[in-house]
């Protein structure tokens, strides 16, 4: 589909200034079975390209769904017009930025490629797993889903840059709701956080074919459970809540475009200031956060970002101290601060901005049993179902599907509607134990919203479970 | 663009077999985006996109897909040939769909908007000039938006509009800002200047030492932009029939007879007075209005064609995700000029942010204040407030603790651009509420 472009790129991109062409072909396939009824198979096929121009200090882009040379030349002309308009009116003299002209290839390794099973086999699998969720008359809604995405991109520049990447992503999902009267409780497979790169082997690693009855049993258990108590107590977060905690209160505040103010009208700013880097104590000594686009399993892995910077692992926070932010080539030039390879666009229809990639908490040394045993009075929570945080990423409140009290070092009563709230820096400084490798899960989010114009982005979070001290916990009405 | 859609639709329909029906939907736009920060351009560009949805029906079986059209006939026809072959292959093994429902009575419509926009560079230059000297951040978007439907039964529906949408903040310092917008169909430089002057004037109110208040219960005024945020979260799973039947709706207590809102609350999907097209993706024409909540009691669900078939009730024009696109909330009896005096002492909240359910079945919502929020004492603005978290039930907020709604309402056009520029609107009043719970 993208063949022929690289041979003719010199006919499309002018020589003066920096020019790039980012062509993409993406195919989505969603198999979903709800209440034992196969929903319409959703397939989408998207293709198009964006031409970007930096010339005379200005910047411009133009995106079109036609990949003909004639259309792309018109797009280049339009991008050039925008660059001319913005020259002298831009937030930065873009002529000062040295953009890379990379060469390379990357493809997600997949042990069992998605295409190795027929659509009929995938439908049959989803039908079977959906049926296993209906274990009781009080189960009123239940569904199973497989969402596969294949993205092929070709990035070309006017000075010989040429990167081809193919990413295979899979998001398996199960959800079950139990109800009596107006009361309802839902359990799901990680609240859609079990998203990874790879092939059908992902299904085995997340328990897609085995975990359904357990989710149904937990939904029924929650239905009869007491409301979560309100108190300050220790909080043990499972990996499928930790990923959200990291995403909202570390990932977003470290995005350089927020720190530079670009997002203040929409997604928000950040409590992190440029002068924080190198000295600011973000959390306890146990907090080690990395930007790692090199883990082949993780949802946002790649070989290069969408401005052509090679992917590389970097420490963002080391032993609790803030080291660097999430800024791509352009944000690094604007801020004068070190960054990472995180200029990313969600499709050919949108320009790259600073996004998360994979933001991971490195494992500690504690087993889950050791963390539970260390709690005199606390609560264990898993599977995010509510998220809210202020626009500078300080005051947060999160909720989970499932809670269980911890008393005198043991898990005791299950509680429904568990929520907690806090302030980012205080919370991460209350981190008192980090789970070891046995508690680590490879997770992510398929629809992180940000940017003007808006973009939904796929991000990854590989994280262990972790224990926090003295957190404000509460329940529902 | 209409010709592009109808030409490809005709081509598909000509290539159908005798026992096949095709349902075709179209979404397109040609957009210009200028993103700015500190009154300077961060990114500027153009996006042209057109996507075709094709649902191929054979009896009770159907297979659907959507794909980007290139706009070049030969290329698009070749793609259609491949797509039809793929869908026919799927129809060989897909089971019958018990919830398939599509319009079989032909009801063609056409609404063609006129282009009264300024050239994008001219409008963007005006925005930058008027904002010059301010810490202005935001986005300007403009251009035509297209929606279409066609089927092999002979129906054709077309909708086009040409809109602009400027949304910006003037920042004073830190997180203290005034958020404003200017959106519509006919660009007017004088109106832009007026709105920017008005926004700049409001900054003076923020230029006082900010106050921090402790958590507690407060009397608050929620300005229309804050009410839009509440409406948006209710629109996320509150009104759809499927969510109610699955017991996951946030308003399930209303349909179970366990909760009501204040009698002043009436909410409707008001297609006739909105800006969205009046047809859906399977060919049904939407009713002028669907009353969702009337005088505080649940009246009607939003019902998509699939839900209509599943639950054996009439469809009422809702999309598959069963949410409003033309949300409308009735006015109350408080004159806007009396808001401050009726508030007396409490919070004047212009904007809310990042709402989510903290207890969905109880319709309890948490979120943050944002931008210009003020402490008011004895009917006078006293000081800007630092951001606060709230956690409050809709049944208290718009129920027992609602003092009243304003007589005036604000119509706002959606500035959302996920996937494309949205054609949606909200018309809401402001709300005066007591005992509003601030928690952090």
A214 and A122 part of one domain: yes
Q: Does residue B209 sit within a domain? A: no
| Closest residue of chain B to A64, computed from CA coordinates | B48
Query: Would you call B94 and A38 a contact, using CB atoms and an 8 Å cutoff?
Result: yes
Where is the domain boundary, A223, A240, A264? A223
Q: Does residue B138 sit within a domain? A: yes
Query: Would you call A78 and B97 a contact, using CB atoms and an 8 Å cutoff?
Result: no
B189 and B220 part of one domain: no
Tell me if residue A51 falls in helix, strand or coil. strand
C-alpha span between A170 and A195 (Å, rounded):
6
A159 and A215 part of one domain: yes
Q: Does residue B120 sit within a domain? A: yes
Instruction: Please check whether residue A261 is in contact with residue A255, taking contact to mean a CB–CB distance below 8 angstroms.
Output: no
The two three-digit tokens of residue A98, written as one number: 């040295």
B256 and B190 part of one domain: no
Domains held by chain B: number: 2
Dihedral sign of CA atoms A462, A467, A473, A474 in order: positive
Taking CA A174 as the corner, what is the angle to CA A171 and CA A179, rounded to the nearest 5 degrees? 150
Query: Radius of gyration (Cα) for chain A, nearest Å?
Result: 23
Chain A and chain B share a number of CB contacts under 8 A equal to 242
B184 and B145 part of one domain: yes
Q: Which residues of B touch A266 (CB under 8 A)?
A: 139, 167
> Domain span at residue A204?
5-223
Taking CA B207 as the corner, what is the angle to CA B203 and CA B209, rounded to the nearest 5 degrees? 145
Q: Is B111 on the interface with A (CB under 8 A)?
A: no
Cβ neighbour number for residue B53 with a 10 Å cutoff: 18
Alpha-carbon distances of A233 from A229, A292, A375, A424, A474, rounded to whole Å: 10, 32, 9, 17, 10
A205 and A268 part of one domain: no
Burial class (CB in 10 A: 0-12, 13-18, 19+), B154: exposed
Q: Which residues of A touch B46 (CB under 8 A)?
A: 61-63, 75, 78-79, 82
Query: Would you call A262 and B37 a contact, using CB atoms and an 8 Å cutoff?
Result: yes
Spell out the SS3 assignment of A324-359: CCECCHHHHHHHCCCCCCCEECCCCCCCCEECCCEE
The two three-digit tokens of residue A474, written as one number: 């509460």
Q: Which of B48, B97, B440 sits opposite A395 (nearest CB)?
A: B440
A313 and A195 part of one domain: no
**Is it the case that residue B81 has pLDDT exceeding 70?**
yes
Q: Does residue B84 sit within a domain? A: yes
Q: Which residues of A touch B418 (CB under 8 A)?
A: 449, 454-456
B289 and B188 part of one domain: no
**Is it the case that residue B306 has pLDDT exceeding 80?**
yes
Query: Would you call B35 and A452 a contact, using CB atoms and an 8 Å cutoff?
Result: yes
Q: Which residues of B touch A42 (CB under 8 A)?
A: 64-65
Where is the domain boundary, B151, B176, B202? B202
> How far away is chain A from the Cα of B131, in angstroms, using its nearest Cα?
12
Query: Would you call A91 and B40 a contact, using CB atoms and an 8 Å cutoff?
Result: yes
B170 and B281 part of one domain: no
Residue by residue, DSSP assigns A279-334 as T-B-S-TT--EEE-TT-TTSTT--SB-TT-PBP--EEEEETTEE---B--HHHHHH
A204 and A247 part of one domain: no
Q: Which residues contact A320 (CB under 8 A, 6 or more apart)?
A: A281, A282, A283, A284, A285, A286, A287, A428, A429
- β-pairing, B61-68 with B40-58? antiparallel
Where is the domain boundary, A183, A198, A223? A223
Cβ neighbour number for residue B132 with a 10 Å cutoff: 10
Where is the domain boundary, A193, A223, A253? A223
C-alpha span between A321 and B436 (Å, rounded):
38
Instruction: Please check whether residue B213 is in contact with residue B385, taking contact to mean a CB–CB distance below 8 angstroms.
Output: yes
Provide φ and ψ at B217, rounded to 5°: -105, 130
Q: Is B31 on the interface with A (CB under 8 A)?
A: yes
Q: Which residues contact A274 (CB under 8 A, 6 or more apart)?
A: A259, A335, A337
A188 and A263 part of one domain: no
B186 and B308 part of one domain: no
The two three-digit tokens of residue A466, written as one number: 């972790």
pLDDT confidence bin for B340, thresholds 50/70/90: very high
Could you report the per-residue pLDDT of A188-238, keeping only the tens digit for each? 999 999 999 999 999 999 999 999 999 999 999 999 999 999 999 999 999
Cβ neighbour number for residue B330 with a 10 Å cutoff: 18
> How far away is chain A from the Cα of B247, in angstroms, using its nearest Cα?
6
B83 and B55 part of one domain: yes
Q: Does residue B208 sit within a domain? A: no
C-alpha span between B333 and B338 (Å, rounded):
10
Helices of type H across A91-200: 119-131
C-alpha span between B73 and B131 (Å, rounded):
44
B155 and B237 part of one domain: no
A201 and A269 part of one domain: no
Q: Is A141 on the interface with B (CB under 8 A)?
A: yes
The packing angle between helices B189-206 and B120-131, to 10°, is: 30
Q: Which of A78, A79, A386 sits opposite B357 (nearest CB)?
A: A386
C-alpha span between B28 and B421 (Å, rounded):
9
Give the per-residue pLDDT at A1: 63
Q: Which of B26, B28, B47, B86 to mutate to test the interface with A (most CBs of A within 10 A)?
A: B47
Cβ neighbour number for residue B197 with a 10 Å cutoff: 10
Closest CA to B251 of B264, B70, B265: B265
Q: Is B121 on the interface with A (CB under 8 A)?
A: yes
Question: At B109, which CATH number?
Answer: 3.30.2290.10
| Closest residue of chain A to B128, computed from CA coordinates | A89
> In chain B, which among 276-295 make CB contacts under 8 A with chain A?
none
> Domain span at residue B119?
2-202
Instruction: Please check whether residue A353 is in contact with residue A306, taking contact to mean a CB–CB distance below 8 angstroms.
Output: no
B227 and B170 part of one domain: no
pLDDT higher for B175 or A197? A197
Q: Which residues of A touch B258 (CB under 8 A)?
A: 182
A321 and A363 part of one domain: yes
| Closest residue of chain A to B386, computed from CA coordinates | A390
Q: What is the mean pLDDT of chain B?
A: 97
- The half-sphere exposure of B385 on its side-chain side, counting CA atoms within 13 A, is 24
Query: In a structure prediction context, what are the per-residue pLDDT tens digits for chain A, which is 477 residues long?
Result: 677 899 999 999 999 999 999 999 999 999 999 999 999 999 999 999 999 999 999 999 999 999 999 999 999 999 999 999 999 999 999 999 999 999 999 999 999 999 999 999 999 999 999 999 999 999 999 999 999 999 999 999 999 999 999 999 999 999 999 999 878 999 999 999 999 999 999 999 999 999 999 999 999 999 999 999 999 999 999 999 999 999 999 999 999 999 999 999 999 999 999 999 999 999 999 999 999 999 999 999 999 999 999 999 999 999 999 999 999 999 999 999 999 999 999 999 999 999 999 999 999 999 999 999 999 999 999 999 999 999 999 999 999 999 999 999 999 999 999 999 999 999 999 999 999 999 999 999 999 999 999 999 999 999 999 999 999 999 998
A453 preceded by a cis bond (ω within 30 of 0): yes
C-alpha span between A314 and A360 (Å, rounded):
11
Q: What is the ipTM of this complex?
A: 0.96
Q: Which residues of A touch B143 (CB under 8 A)?
A: none
B176 and B267 part of one domain: no
A18 and A165 part of one domain: yes
DSSP, res B116? B
Taking CA B355 as the corner, what is the angle to CA B402 and CA B409, rounded to the nearest 5 degrees? 50
Give the per-residue pLDDT at B316: 95
- β-pairing, B61-68 with A359-361? unpaired
Query: Would you call A182 and B370 a contact, using CB atoms and an 8 Å cutoff?
Result: no
Direct distance between the N- and C-terminal alpha carbons of chain A, in angstroms, rounded to an integer: 54
Where is the domain boundary, B202, B231, B247? B202
The two three-digit tokens of residue B282, written as one number: 């399977």
Domains held by chain A: number: 2
A439 and A307 part of one domain: yes
Cβ neighbour number for residue B309 with a 10 Å cutoff: 17
A329 and A436 part of one domain: yes
Q: Which residues of B touch A387 (CB under 8 A)?
A: 356
B246 and B185 part of one domain: no
Give the per-residue pLDDT at A4: 86
> In chain B, which among 47-66 make CB contacts under 8 A with chain A?
47-51, 55, 62-66
Question: At A19, which CATH number?
Answer: 3.30.2290.10
Q: Is B197 on the interface with A (CB under 8 A)?
A: no
Give me the mean pLDDT over the B374-390 stretch: 96
Q: Does residue B297 sit within a domain? A: yes
The two three-digit tokens of residue A334, written as one number: 């604007």
Where is the domain boundary, B202, B228, B254? B202
C-alpha span between B373 and B432 (Å, rounded):
14
B185 and B295 part of one domain: no
Instruction: Please check whether residue A448 is in contact with residue A247, taking contact to mean a CB–CB distance below 8 angstroms.
Output: yes
Q: Which of B44, B167, B358 sits opposite A265 (nearest CB)?
A: B167
A279 and A207 part of one domain: no
Q: Is A67 on the interface with B (CB under 8 A)?
A: yes
Q: Does residue B210 sit within a domain? A: no
């Amino acid at each position: 589909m993208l063949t022929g472009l690289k041979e003719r790129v010199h006919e499309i991109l002018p020589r003066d200034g920096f020019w790039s062409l980012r062509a993409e072909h993406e195919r989505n396939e969603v198999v979903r079975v709800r209440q034992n009824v196969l929903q319409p198979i959703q397939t989408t096929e998207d293709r198009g390209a964006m031409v970007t121009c930096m010339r005379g200090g200005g910047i411009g882009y133009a995106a079109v769904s036609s990949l003909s040379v004639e259309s792309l030349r018109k797009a280049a002309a339009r991008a050039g017009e925008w660059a001319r308009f913005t020259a002298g009116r831009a937030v930065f003299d873009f002529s000062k930025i040295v953009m890379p002209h990379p060469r390379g290839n990357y493809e997600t390794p997949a042990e069992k490629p998605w295409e190795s099973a027929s659509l009929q086999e995938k439908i049959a699998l989803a039908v079977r797993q959906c049926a296993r969720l209906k274990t009781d008359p009080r189960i009123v809604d239940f569904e199973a889903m497989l969402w596969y995405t294949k993205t092929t991109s070709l990035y070309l520049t006017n000075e010989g840059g040429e990167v081809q990447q193919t990413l295979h992503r899979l998001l398996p999902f199960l959800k079950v709701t139990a109800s009596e009267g107006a009361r309802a409780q839902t359990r799901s497979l990680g609240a859609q956080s079990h998203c990874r790169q790879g092939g059908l082997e992902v299904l085995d690693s997340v328990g897609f074919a085995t975990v359904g009855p357990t989710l149904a049993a937990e939904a029924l258990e929650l239905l009869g459970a007491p409301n979560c108590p309100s108190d300050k107590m220790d909080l043990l977060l499972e990996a499928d809540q930790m990923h959200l905690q990291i995403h909202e209160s570390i990932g977003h505040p470290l995005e350089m475009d927020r720190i530079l103010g670009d997002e203040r009208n929409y997604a928000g700013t950040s409590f992190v200031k440029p002068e924080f880097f190198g000295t600011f104590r973000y959390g306890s000594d146990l907090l080690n956060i990395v930007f790692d686009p090199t883990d082949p399993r993780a949802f946002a892995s790649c070989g290069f970002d969408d401005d052509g910077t090679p992917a590389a692992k970097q420490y963002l926070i080391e032993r609790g101290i803030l080291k660097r932010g999430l800024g791509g080539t352009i944000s690094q030039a604007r801020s004068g601060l070190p960054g990472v390879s995180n200029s990313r666009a969600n499709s050919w229809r949108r320009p790259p901005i600073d996004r998360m990639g994979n933001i991971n908490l490195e494992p500690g040394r504690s087993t889950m049993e050791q963390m539970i045993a260390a709690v005199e009075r606390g609560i264990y929570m898993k599977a995010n179902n509510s998220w809210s945080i202020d626009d500078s990423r300080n005051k947060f409140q999160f909720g989970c599907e499932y809670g269980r009290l911890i008393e005198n070092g043991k898990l005791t009563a299950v509680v429904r509607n568990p929520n907690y709230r806090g302030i980012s820096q205080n919370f991460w400084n209350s981190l008192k134990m980090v789970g070891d490798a046995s508690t680590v899960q490879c997770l992510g989010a398929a629809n992180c919203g940000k940017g003007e114009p808006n973009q939904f982005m796929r991000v990854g979070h590989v994280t262990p479970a972790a224990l926090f001290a003295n957190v404000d916990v509460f329940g529902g009405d | 663009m209409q010709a592009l859609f109808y030409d490809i639709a005709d081509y598909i329909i000509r290539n159908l077999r005798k026992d096949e029906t095709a349902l075709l939907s179209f979404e397109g736009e040609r957009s210009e985006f200028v993103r700015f920060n500190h009154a300077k351009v961060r990114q500027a560009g153009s996006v042209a996109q057109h996507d075709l949805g094709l649902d191929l029906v054979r009896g009770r079986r159907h297979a659907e897909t959507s794909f980007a059209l290139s706009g070049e006939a030969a290329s698009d026809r070749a793609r259609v040939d491949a797509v039809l072959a793929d869908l026919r292959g799927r129809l060989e093994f897909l089971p019958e769909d018990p919830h398939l429902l599509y319009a079989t009575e032909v009801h063609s419509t056409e609404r063609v908007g006129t282009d009264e926009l300024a050239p994008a560079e001219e409008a963007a230059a005006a925005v930058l000039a008027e904002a010059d000297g301010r810490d202005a951040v935001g986005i300007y978007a403009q251009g035509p938006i297209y929606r279409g439907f066609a089927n092999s039964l002979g129906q054709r529906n077309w909708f086009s509009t040409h809109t602009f949408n400027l949304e910006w903040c003037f920042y004073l310092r830190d997180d203290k800002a005034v958020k404003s917008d200017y959106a519509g169909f006919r660009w007017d430089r004088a109106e832009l200047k007026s709105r920017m002057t008005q926004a700049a004037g409001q900054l003076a109110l923020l230029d006082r030492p900010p106050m921090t208040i402790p958590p507690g219960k407060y009397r608050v005024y929620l300005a229309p932009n804050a009410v839009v945020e509440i409406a948006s979260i209710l629109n996320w799973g509150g009104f759809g029939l499927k969510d109610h039947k699955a017991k996951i709706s946030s308003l399930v207590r209303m349909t179970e007879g366990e909760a009501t809102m204040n009698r002043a609350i009436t909410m409707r999907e008001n297609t006739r007075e909105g800006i969205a097209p009046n047809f859906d993706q399977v060919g049904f024409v939407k009713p002028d209005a669907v009353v969702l909540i009337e005088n505080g009691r649940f009246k009607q669900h939003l019902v998509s064609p699939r839900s209509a078939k599943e639950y054996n009730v009439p469809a009422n024009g809702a999309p598959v995700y069963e949410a409003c696109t033309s949300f409308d909330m009735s006015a109350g009896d408080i004159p806007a000029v009396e808001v401050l005096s009726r508030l007396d002492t409490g919070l004047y909240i212009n904007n809310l942010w990042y709402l989510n359910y903290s207890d969905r079945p109880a319709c309890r919502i948490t979120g943050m204040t944002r931008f210009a929020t003020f402490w008011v004492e004895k009917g006078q603005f006293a000081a800007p407030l630092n951001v606060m978290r709230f956690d409050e039930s809709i049944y208290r907020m718009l129920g027992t603790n609602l003092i009243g709604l304003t007589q005036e309402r604000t119509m706002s056009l959606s500035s959302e651009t996920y996937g494309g520029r949205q054609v949606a609107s909200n018309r809401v009043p402001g709300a005066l509420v007591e005992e509003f719970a601030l928690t952090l």
